[in-house]
A and B are shown apart, each in its own frame.
Chain A
Amino acid sequence: AQSVTQLGSHVSVSEGALVLLRCNYSSSVPPYLFWYVQYPNQGLQLLLKYTSAATLVKGINGFEAEFKKSETSFHLTKPSAHMSDAAEYFCAVKTSGGSYIPTFGRGTSLIVHP
Chain B
Amino acid sequence: EAGVTQSPTHLIKTRGQQATLRCSPISGHTSVYWYQQALGLGLQFLLWYDEGEERNRGNFPPRFSGRQFPNYSSELNVNALELEDSALYLCASSLLAGGNSPLHFGNGTRLTVT
Contact = CB atoms under 8 A, between A and B. Distances in A.
Contacts of B103: 34, 44, 46, 92, 102
A96 B98 contact: yes
B42 A43 contact: no
Given A90-B42, A90-B43, A44 B90 contact: yes
Interface residues of B, number: 24
Contacts of B92: 43-44
A51 B48 contact: no
A14 B5 CA distance: 35
Interface in B99-114: 99-100, 102-108
Given A32-B99, A106-B41, A101 B33 contact: yes
Contacts of B90: 43-44
Contact of B102 (A34, A104, A105, A106): A34
A45 B56 contact: no
Contacts of A106: 40-42
Interface of A: 32, 34, 36, 41-46, 49-51, 90, 92, 94, 96, 99-107
Question: Can you list the 8 inter-chain pairs with the closest CB atoms, starting with the nearest?
Answer: A43-B105, A106-B42, A104-B43, A51-B100, A44-B105, A32-B100, A100-B98, A43-B107
